[in-house]
């Protein structure tokens, strides 16, 4: 049995949703039951009062798509360090974040991101922010009541709150990005019956002690029909990746610092990634790459899909020179700086 899901999108002028399909048959790993699980759903208002000041509303301008987006972030350091989803900031040419706790709006920059695990860490130009109480996602149980908070609809202001319960653990969601053509699979997700909605991405799911045990990342495609099923990244995993990013430790999945920009939009094609859009004035345009070209390699490393191209470029930085294989010809390109994710 399978279902159709989509990544919780940023609110935008142009729909930038990620379509996904969940593997419902994924086995659930054993977890330790908590003897203190309350018998009824959480008081959402009480959770909002305590947890709300610890989150930020994120606004993203997507200059190359002539669009805007909105999401949520979790404050993990009072010095302005914020945890969010990579897909909240992906493609952003300008980022700001409004702290619910201070009421102030701050410019934000991306420290680094892990596209494969949908994690990004931001640095806000400000300090003195209330910090989230981070829990232990290894000790959660199916049936445990939770509350998911966020910036539903991208409206900002008082956080949206949705009470629910953990309905499954160790779930897998496969997603396809309709904008970039890349695909990804998120594993080990917490499934909740809270009605996570657009704009809630990057927000916290908290337990009965108002501790963050997950970060919202996906909602079922029929969320608008009533109470939906949402998904959250376990906070232990998210914080481990955030720690790696903050330490400056890049890896095959973690990119630190500014993003290398080739200046193309691509889709999967037999034997490579077909160029469907070339950004005017960008590196690819300057090298003579055109729509319809099929990228087959970067520096001799095979490109067999849009995702492969994205992953290879994630290992580069602005200023790097690369050789782009185009089937019957090559193009030498100096990568520019571009939007994250």
Tell me what the mean pLDDT of segment 60-64 comes to. Answer: 84
**What is the distance between the alpha carbons of residues 312 and 255, in angstroms, rounded to a whole number?**
11
**Surface-to-core class of residue 2, CB atoms within 10 Å of its CB (0-12 exposed, 13-18 middle, 19+ buried):** exposed
Lowest mean pLDDT among 110-124, 166-180, 243-257, 302-316: 166-180
pLDDT tens string 92-106: 999 999 999 999 999
pLDDT band at 220 (very low <50, low <70, confident <90, very high): low
**% pLDDT > 70, the chain:** 82
**68 pLDDT exceeds 60?**
yes
Examine the pLDDT at 178 and tell me if it is beyond 80: no
159/69: higher pLDDT: 159
| Paired strand residues for 183 | 176
pLDDT at 20: 26
Q: Which of 118, 177, 293, 314 is catalytic?
A: 118
Q: In terms of pLDDT, which residue wins out, 16 or 246? A: 246
User: From CA 206, how far away is CA 174, in angstroms rounded?
Assistant: 24
Classify residue 10 by its DSSP letter: P
Please, which pLDDT band fits residue 143 given cuts at 50, 70 and 90? very high
CA distance 7 to 217: 6
With CA atoms as reference, report the closest residue to 119 among 71, 87, 79: 87
Model confidence at 319, in pLDDT bands (50, 70, 90)? very high
User: How many other C-beta atoms are found inside a 10 Å radius of the C-beta of residue 254?
Assistant: 21
Highest mean pLDDT among 148-162, 196-210, 285-299: 285-299
* pLDDT band, residue 188 (cuts 50/70/90): very high
Mean pLDDT, range 43-66, rounded to an integer: 90
Is 118 marked active-site? yes
Query: Tell me, what's the pLDDT at 171?
Result: 94
pLDDT in tens, 224-275: 334 567 999 999 999 999 999 999 988 888 999 999 999 999 999 999 999 9
Task: List the catalytic residue out of 17, 59, 87, 193.
Answer: 87
- Report the distance separating Cα 274 and Cα 329, nearest Å: 14
What average pLDDT does the segment 154-173 reach?
92
Give me the domains of the chain, ranges plus CATH numbers. Answer: 2-23+42-246 (2.40.10.120), 258-338 (2.30.42.10)
**Given pLDDT bands bounded at 50, 70 and 90, which one contains residue 113?**
very high
Q: Which of 148, 160, 182, 201 is catalytic?
A: 201
- Inter-residue contact 267 to 181 (CB < 8 Å): yes
User: Among 145, 231, 233, which residue's Cα sits nearest to residue 196?
Assistant: 231
- Per mean pLDDT, which range of 153-162, 264-273, 286-295 is the poorest? 153-162
* pLDDT for 125 beyond 70: yes
Pair of tokens at residue 156: 């900002």
Mean pLDDT of 27-54: 62
Whole-number Å distance between alpha carbons of 118 and 124? 19
Instruction: Check if the beta carbon of residue 116 is closer than 8 Å to that of residue 38.
Output: no
- Catalytic annotation present for 314: no
Is the pLDDT at 15 greater than 60, yes or no? no
Give yes or no: 201 in active site: yes
Kindly state the average pLDDT of the residues 289-309: 96
């Amino acid at each position: 049995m399978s279902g159709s899901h989509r990544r919780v999108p940023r609110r935008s002028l142009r729909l930038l949703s990620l379509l996904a399909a969940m593997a419902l048959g994924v086995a659930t790993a054993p977890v330790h039951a908590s003897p203190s699980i309350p018998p009824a759903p959480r008081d959402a208002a009480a959770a909002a009062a305590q947890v709300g000041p610890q989150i930020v509303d994120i606004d993203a301008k997507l200059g190359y798509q002539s669009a805007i987006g909105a999401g949520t972030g979790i404050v993990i350091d009072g010095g302005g360090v914020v945890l969010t989803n990579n897909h909240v900031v992906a493609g952003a040419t300008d980022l700001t974040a409004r702290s619910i706790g201070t009421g102030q709006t701050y410019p934000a920059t991306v420290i680094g991101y892990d596209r494969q695990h949908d994690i990004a860490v931001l640095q806000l130009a400000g300090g003195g922010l209330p910090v989230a109480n981070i829990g232990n996602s290894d000790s959660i149980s199916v049936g445990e009541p939770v509350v998911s908070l966020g910036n539903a609809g991208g409206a900002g202001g008082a956080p949206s709150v949705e009470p629910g319960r953990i309905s499954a653990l160790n779930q897998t969601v496969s997603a396809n990005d309709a904008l970039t053509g890349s695909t990804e699979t998120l594993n080990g997700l917490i499934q909740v019956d809270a009605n996570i909605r657009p704009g809630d991405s990057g927000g916290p799911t908290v337990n009965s002690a108002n501790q963050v045990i997950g970060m919202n990342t996906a909602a079922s495609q029929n969320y608008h029909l009533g109470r939906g099923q949402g998904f959250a990244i376990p906070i232990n995993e998210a914080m481990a990746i955030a720690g790696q990013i903050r330490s400056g430790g890049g890896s095959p999945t973690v990119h630190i610092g500014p993003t290398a920009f080739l200046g193309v939009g691509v889709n999967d094609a037999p034997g490579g990634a077909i160029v469907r859009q070339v950004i005017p004035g960008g590196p690819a345009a300057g090298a003579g790459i055109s729509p319809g070209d099929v990228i087959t390699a970067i520096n001799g490393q095979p490109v067999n899909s849009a995702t492969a191209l994205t992953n290879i470029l994630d290992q580069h930085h602005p200023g790097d020179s690369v050789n782009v294989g185009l089937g019957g010809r090559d193009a030498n390109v100096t990568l520019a700086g571009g939007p994250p994710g």
